[in-house]
Structure 1
């Protein structure tokens, strides 16, 4: 599609056999039904992070049927940061957007992410409203406040699965370890222009989330010192090993 911009969607997956097919179907549908998204070419890069179920088989099956869909298979469970990096390395779009495999955020929000990227933002974050209640919400909110104070970046939801990136950021990013938890803070190294908007949150229908409010809080509280070393992250080259591609 000469002259048409491309959007790359990166979906990290771990044991998502009951969710990934609905997510892929939803993406194919929203790019047909949305007047904004229909103007773009797109590719879907589903990254299987060492799943023990039929996630990879589902991805391969879809890649055979639709040339928009591609699969990347890691040879073990390396974590979300490695999954993001593998997807970014395989992407070719002018814009790259991460999507959760469990449809926690309605796919209709992809259009607004693209609109904001078109307005010149380098990074677009989404804030999942009403995702937790009571104690979990308080702990998650406190964790974000701790990190915001340390890094100087005011973002309400660092853990949201839908995030948009400009190509220039993706070409220079190198995620490793737990960097996916600090993406907005990491991007200050690049003087990235960032924004955030609210989205509806929907609990997953199948499977169990790997992260709980209390776990997130204690992780951030115990590891916020890592942000002080973000300057060194730029020169760190993390290589993903043991990768299998499909499509």
Structure 2
């Protein structure tokens, strides 16, 4: 029997959160009188996350588990869950309980109003540092400018998608799909539900500064070639400035004046070489994505699955 609701949750080393997460989910979803399934995707955890998922699935036919052969990343774990989801509405959320299960009711209410995409906007003043809130805000600003895909600050992967939207998401062939950007790019009628972000129930965040920078760069490159166009404009502007400098030196030399400034010239040249290497790096990233796409490797490898009654 087809479910009304599928809840997709990626997990990575979250053994201490699984039991509490499922309890909160059931407490929030059961009163809604909707048929549902909870799809837990183990993204190559090194702890006992998979054992906790398997145990939960054996005691509850609404719980299903997917285990990756290794860590393929949060976005790919979400994607695997979307592939397995059978519900008319699909909610994705994190497994650390920062996305409150109590908000699910609000998402479903908006879906009943006819919205095919119900996003959320987090208020994380109490749980996120000033640095993280600021960098997140400017990331979405820069992303919107460079990609022409409008995204609001505070957007996350906590959202509800109608199954018709999920089908279009699964048609994307991107090597590193940025799901938030993909949902916004589709342009479906949407609304936003605010929520108060909770502190992590247990454990620590798996996203350090290095991973966040890499994630931001991949996200922008997935949806825009403007970084390459930006390199062209930088080249044009610096060439014009260099030409004006040459004209100035020639004019001064014709007047018998020698223009000093070897140190400044070396500084300018070093600066321009720095820009050049940055642009070469950007080009290299684009080329690497083309190379990876041509290899046509699977986005993820599922080692095993589990459910209360039968395999997925």
* TM tier, smaller: 0.7 to 0.9
Which residue does the alignment assign to 1:155? 152
String of CA shifts for 1:178-199, please: whole Å, max 9, x gaps: 42xx434323443312222211
Supply the distance in 2 between the matched residues of 1:246 and 1:73 (Cα, whole angstroms). Answer: 9
Q: Please report how far the alpha carbon of residue 104 of structure 1 lies from its aligned counterpart in structure 2 after TM superposition.
A: 0.2
Q: CA RMSD in A?
A: 2.6
More strand, by proportion: 1
Give the TM-score taking structure 2 as reference length: 0.67
Cα contact 1:117–1:123 (8 A) shared by 2? yes
2:182 pairs with 1:122: no
1:19/1:193 CA distance change after superposition, 3 Å: same
Query: Aligned match of 2:93 in 86, 91, 99?
Result: 99
1:146/1:103 CA distance change after superposition, 3 Å: same
**Structure 1 stretches lacking a partner, 5+ long:** 230-235
Q: Please report how far the alpha carbon of residue 71 of structure 1 lies from its aligned counterpart in structure 2 after TM superposition.
A: 0.6
Which residue does the alignment assign to 1:27? 25
String of CA shifts for 1:133-181, please: whole Å, max 9, x gaps: 42222111111111122333132223x24211110111221365542xx
Cα contact 2:176–2:222 (8 A) shared by 1? no
Q: Please report how far the alpha carbon of residue 132 of structure 1 lies from its aligned counterpart in structure 2 after TM superposition.
A: 2.1
Supply the distance in 1 between the matched residues of 2:299 and 2:221 (Cα, whole angstroms). Answer: 24
Which residue does the alignment assign to 1:58? 52
- 2:145 partner SS: helix
- 2:76 partner SS: helix
Which residue does the alignment assign to 2:10? 12
Supply the distance in 2 between the matched residues of 1:237 and 1:123 (Cα, whole angstroms). Answer: 30
String of CA shifts for 1:64-123, please: whole Å, max 9, x gaps: 111111111111101112111111111110000012111002211001111112222222
Alignment of 1:80-91 (within 5 A): 80-91=74-85
More helix, by proportion: 2
Q: Find the structure with the greater CA-based Rg.
A: 2
Which residue does the alignment assign to 2:186? 190
Which residue does the alignment assign to 1:244? 304
Which residue does the alignment assign to 2:130? 134
2:163 pairs with 1:167: yes
1:80/1:244 CA distance change after superposition, 3 Å: same
Which residue does the alignment assign to 2:221? 225
**Structure 2 stretches lacking a partner, 5+ long:** 226-295, 308-312
- 1:216 partner SS: helix
Supply the distance in 2 between the matched residues of 1:149 and 1:19 (Cα, whole angstroms). Answer: 37
Give the TM-score taking structure 1 as reference length: 0.84
1:50/1:133 CA distance change after superposition, 3 Å: closer
Supply the distance in 2 between the matched residues of 1:74 and 1:177 (Cα, whole angstroms). Answer: 17
Q: May I ask how many residue pairs the two structures share in their alignment?
A: 233
